[in-house]
Amino acid sequence: MQDSVWTAATAAALGAALAGAVDGGLFPGGVLTVGRAGGERVTVGHGLVAPECGDARPGPHTRYDLASLTKVLATWPLVGAAVRTGLLDLDAPLRAVLPELPSPGNDLTVRQLLTHTSGLLPKTGLARYEHSGRPLIEHLCAEPLVSPPGSRHRYIDRGFILLGLLLPAVLGRPLHLLAEDLWRELGLTRTAYGPLPRDPQLAPTEQRLRDAPRTWGAPHDPSAALLGGVAGHAGVFSCADDLAAYAEHLLTGASPLADWFTESRRPRAAVEPGLHRGLAWLVTDDGGAAYHHGFTGTSLFLAPATGRYVVLCTNAVYHGWDRARLADLRTLALRTLTG
């Protein structure tokens, strides 16, 4: 199918599915962008940003809490830069970089952290370490492992939290400054770590306590909130327009970032039939797609062979935690991208 026809048809189909979810009361609104690297881009929005934002409608510049898309928008590219310059070795133990780290975590590798095969504790639970006086990175490494490193895939946040603490030690600057430099170099002008000022074009997420204000401009993820909003696994806010631009950087040309994406989408660990984990990214067995989700209601789908992509931004946790709210739309996006 011709790219312009595919883009228009896919935007219409996914837009109708998004409208159905919004009209069904699953969440206040959302926006999606469908495009091809170097080609046309179509953005469709439905509903409201949120009732707190008045009559503001979601559009290409509406900011959403990306949640776990932080892993591939901040931590993963920064790890790639450190690997490319020789400051990190994917297969060297962490103690090669920070000898003072305790065991058993000091024997883990960056590759195991990126592929979610580290065996670190599945529950994040950072609150247990409050007021201990010990660096968080040491706590994470000192906890017992639940499985031998490299033996199985288990999606957890702890590995990327650990990477987010490791990167400043390796690269010599705070994580948010490293990320800001990366995003500005790529032209992503509305991508930032929070907290951010409340704004009608910044989508609120969940009301944690009855009669309390919603989480708005601060990360929905409680562990990222404990870390002041800046973490390796969550905390970044962005918009559909910036995510589409990022997708095009990954899919176009022979830049270092595109090369790192090529390396990272090779299957590394089995997740389920037909699906593997690469370095951070989920990848289909046939190589047709690489993608990642954010718990708050965001997704980024990429098709390397065709250069096509789908960006999805919603505040699907507005009415509480329910992964089913976006399941059908995400499945449709993936099927449309690879079909």
Helix (H, G, I), strand (E, B) or coil at 275: strand
Q: Which tens digit of pLDDT belongs to each residue from 162-184?
A: 999 999 999 999 999 999 999 99
The pLDDT score that the predictor gives to residue 62 is 98
Share of the chain above pLDDT 70, in %: 100
Q: How far apart are CA 269 and CA 332, in angstroms?
A: 24
pLDDT interval class at 68 (50, 70, 90): very high
Which one, of 215, 253, 256, lies nearest residue 234 by Cα?
215
* Rounded (10°) angle between helices 175-185 and 76-84: 90
What are the boundaries of each domain within the chain? 3-73+189-338, 79-175
Q: Which tens digit of pLDDT belongs to each residue from 104-123?
A: 999 999 999 999 999 999 99
CATH number of 3-73+189-338: 3.40.710.10
Mean pLDDT across 133-150? 97
**How would you classify residue 230: left for phi > 0, otherwise alpha for psi between -120 and 50, otherwise beta?**
beta
Helix (H, G, I), strand (E, B) or coil at 136: helix
Look at the block and give the residue holding tokens 């189909």.
13
- Range list of β-strands (E), 28-92: 29-36, 41-47, 64-65
The pLDDT score that the predictor gives to residue 229 is 97
- Cβ burial 10-41 (10 Å sphere, 16+ → b, else e): bbeebbebbbebbeeebbbbbbbbbbbbeeeb
Which one, of 182, 177, 147, 175, lies nearest residue 161 by Cα?
175
The pLDDT score that the predictor gives to residue 193 is 98
Backbone angles phi, psi at 44, to 5 degrees: -130, 130
Q: How far apart are CA 40 and CA 7, in angstroms?
A: 7
Has residue 314 got a pLDDT over 80?
A: yes
Has residue 1 got a pLDDT over 70?
A: no
- Range list of β-strands (E), the chain: 29-36, 41-47, 64-65, 192-193, 236-238, 269-272, 275-277, 282-284, 290-294, 298-303, 308-314
Mean pLDDT value across the chain: 96
Q: Which tens digit of pLDDT belongs to each residue from 143-158?
A: 999 999 999 999 999 9
